[in-house]
Amino acid sequence: MSGDGFPFALPASRFAAVNREATTLFEELRKPLLRYLICLGLSADEAQDVVQDAFLNLHRSLAGGASNENARAWLFSVAHNQARNRQKSYHRRFGRPLEDGAFEMLDESTPEHAVLKKEKFRQLSSAIRTLTEAERECLLLRAEGLRYREIGEVLEMATSTVADTVDRAVRKLAGKCNV
């Protein structure tokens, strides 16, 4: 292999640093991103594809010398936009009903316990479908641990609007679920 190697555009030390940073972010954020995308309505396979694309974009961005002060919000934003694009292309909507397979996750230690859990899950699922798209998205991102400022970056909203939207969504859910 004389001279046929891959030409690196980055110095080896910078390349290693970019790889370490991207790997660390991947390990920390892959599962939260997958959960968020599946909650938005993507299939598990589609969510995997979107997460992979988002991390490839991050790696390219870091390798290009861009500084991502808040890579977490940046990744969620990229994944969110890609999910919206996929849903538009497949003519899907965010509030589609949850599939019956979602109930398989529930603990069924006793039949009564299983029935109660399934009913609570149905009630919550129904209540979530009554939220506006903005309320649902803000609540899902908050559930993934993003701060209001980060949610605002992802959804291109003011931080105060995000706070009001999350508060309104929580109040609606509490009212619908009798909490």
**More confident position, 82 or 1:** 82
Q: How many whole angstroms separate alpha carbon 91 and alpha carbon 65?
A: 37
Note the pLDDT tens digit of each residue in 46-73.
Answer: 889 999 999 888 878 877 776 667 888 8
| Residue 43 to residues 66, 143, 170, Cα–Cα distance (Å) | 31, 19, 26
- Which residue is listed with tokens 């641990």? 145
Query: Which domain CATH number covers 14?
Result: 1.10.1740
Same domain assignment for residues 28 and 82: yes
Same domain assignment for residues 59 and 128: no
Q: Which of 70-74, 82-86, 109-113, 114-118 has the lowest mean pLDDT?
A: 109-113
- Domain end position, chosen among 58, 92, 126: 92
Same domain assignment for residues 84 and 100: no
Could you tell me the residue range of the domain that residue 171 belongs to?
A: 96-179
User: Residue 56: its pLDDT value, please?
Assistant: 87
pLDDT of 44 > 60? The answer is yes
Structure tokens at 166: 């999350």
Q: How confident is the model at residue 6 (pLDDT cuts 50, 70, 90)?
A: very low
Residue 132 phi, psi dihedral angles, 5° rounding: -70, 165
pLDDT, averaged across the chain: 78
Same domain assignment for residues 18 and 86: yes
- Domain end position, chosen among 70, 92, 114: 92
In terms of average pLDDT, the best of 17-21, 23-27, 104-108, 175-179 is 23-27
Same domain assignment for residues 107 and 179: yes
51: Cβ–Cβ under 8 A, 6 or more apart, which residues?
30, 33, 34, 37, 79
